[in-house]
Amino acid sequence: MVRLKDKYLELKPEIQKELGIANVMNVAALEKVIISVGAGFAMKDNKLIQNIEDTITAIAGQRATTVFAKKSVAGFKVREGMPVGIKVTLRGDRMYYFMDRLISIALPRVKDFRGIPRNGFDGRGNYNFGLQEQLIFPEVSYDSIMQIHGMNITVVTTSSNDKEAFTLLEKLGMPFAKGRE
């Protein structure tokens, strides 16, 4: 069921050789994947917040949670305790299963897709990118959503630098945009 995990185990020696890592146990691995949606536009609509939460739960295969504001910010018209986002953290087999579906099914369904940007690395081996709509996932039915929204996806690796993380994600099949690194 988890093909990406098996692919990683096969590619581990190849990544070790390419990066010149002495010990195979020091080769970077996926640690967790975080899917989040900023839902500030839906703060006052509990049905819309619940709909977004249900959509992210279906996409992730794991229960998503609502994030509430910790402080009041008058400029954004946000009071403490208001719902401002939805997130879910995937680890283990669910993480590999989600990444496999993202790479092989969802990203190819993006209109005019030319690859995900290469500049989403944070300097510590983690990668962030955004998707414009949730409809690219086959689990989401057009009739069941109330509003189209995007999402942020953060891929956390055990790598300490961007080069190792980029090599890992590229070998796993992440479709990076062509161009300079």
| Cβ contact 126:120 at 8 Å | no
Q: Which domains does the chain have, with CATH numbers?
A: 3-172 (3.30.1440.10)
User: What pLDDT was estimated at residue 2?
Assistant: 59
Report in angstroms the alpha-carbon separations of 69 from 11, 36, 82, 133: 42, 15, 5, 24
Side-by-side strand order, sheet with 151-157:
65-68, 83-90, 30-38, 151-157, 126-131
User: What pLDDT was estimated at residue 33?
Assistant: 96
DSSP code, position 175:
-
User: What pLDDT was estimated at residue 156?
Assistant: 95
User: What pLDDT was estimated at residue 138?
Assistant: 83
Report in angstroms the alpha-carbon separations of 122 from 16, 68, 108, 118, 125: 22, 26, 25, 11, 7
User: What CA–CA distance (Å, rounded) separates 21 from 36?
Assistant: 33
User: What pLDDT was estimated at residue 180?
Assistant: 59
| Cβ contact 85:63 at 8 Å | no
User: What CA–CA distance (Å, rounded) separates 1 from 137?
Assistant: 18
**Secondary structure class of 109 (helix, strand, coil):** helix
User: What pLDDT was estimated at residue 32?
Assistant: 95
Reference 58, options 128, 152, 133, 138; nearest CA is: 138
Residuewise pLDDT in 10s, the chain (181 residues): 458 888 888 888 998 899 888 988 889 999 999 999 988 777 777 888 888 899 999 999 999 999 998 988 888 888 888 888 999 999 999 999 999 989 988 888 888 888 899 898 988 989 999 988 888 888 888 878 888 888 999 999 999 889 999 999 999 989 998 875 5
CB-count burial class (<10 Å; 0-12, 13-18, 19+) for 179: exposed
* 63: its two tokens: 């229960």
Reference 168, options 97, 66, 99; nearest CA is: 99
